[in-house]
Amino acid sequence: MELTDDEQKRYESYRSRARSYSQTRQWWECGYGFLLARVKRVPEIRGAWLEQGVAVHAVVEDFENSGRTLTEEVLRTKYQDAYSAMINKSLEKQPNPDMWFNSGPYKGLPQDIERRFKVGQEQVTSYLRWTEDQPEQTIWNGSVEIKFELSLGEVNVLGYIDQIVNHPKKKGPGVRDVKTGLKPTEHTQLELYALAMNELHDAGVEWGDYWLGKTGRTSRSIPLNPDRDKLVEWFGKMDEGVKAGEFRPNPGEACARCPVQMSCDYKSEA
């Protein structure tokens, strides 16, 4: 692995830092993508769904921290401000339309960027309506955007949990992740959050779900029985791999949505 001085410094910092779910997921999905994006920091194709996701999360967090007192108008204005500020910054950094992902029939720049200005507002309105329809599902002990640090074997894992919630039909609190895009098909993230809440806060979490911006409601509830050994192995192998300089390419369908594909010699054309 040939690295410039700056890349070497970044690599050294990645060798020693705490691991997050997203860092670890990325390494498992394509180690080479991890290297290109985080260590080499090659130019990335941007997708306006990132700004949309961050802005919706920020507004939902503000709404819950207000005790659900913010009005629809305030929520939409907050979204507009947060999304516009982030998009403007991103456009300053990357004004080239070819470096923005299209979304379905929408050209990334400008159509998809403009469209998501509206989609995000609709999602925060949906969140408000959903809480009005489900007032009995409340935030557990003010637990919004909860930071945790958990030792898993030799690895220090750092994360933030969107929400811990009470549900009238469930035993004990559950972990809830807000998703503005597709619903996940596997639930390692929720398993990790449940383990963190149970080990660090003795919370007794046995279930979790997603609030889905695409449908405006929660997913089905997912039973959680976190397997500590499995998570120790999942994070441990990644940690060892990064320290050993293992960044294997994993060409496949995901290449079409890979932000660093333009710098990748292994990209699948399938």
Q: By the criterion CB under 6 A, which residues form the site for ligand SF4?
A: 30, 32-33, 36, 249-251, 254-255, 258, 260-261, 264, 266-267
**CB closer to ligand SF4, 26 vs 156:** 26
Q: Output the smallest distance, CB 109 to ligand SF4, in A.
A: 21
Q: Output the smallest distance, CB 50 to ligand SF4, in A.
A: 16
- 93 neighbors 29 (Cβ within 8 angstroms): no
Dig out the tokens for 127 from the structure.
């969140």
Q: Output the smallest distance, CB 105 to ligand SF4, in A.
A: 23
Burial 48-58 (b: 16+ CB within 10 A, else e): bbbbbbebbbb
**CB closer to ligand SF4, 224 vs 264:** 264
Q: Output the smallest distance, CB 9 to ligand SF4, in A.
A: 22
- 175 neighbors 160 (Cβ within 8 angstroms): no
The size of the chain, in residues, is 270
**CB closer to ligand SF4, 208 vs 259:** 259
**CB closer to ligand SF4, 238 vs 260:** 260
For the chain, how are helix, strand and coil distributed in percent, rounded to 5?
Answer: 50, 20, 30
Dig out the tokens for 134 from the structure.
């489900």
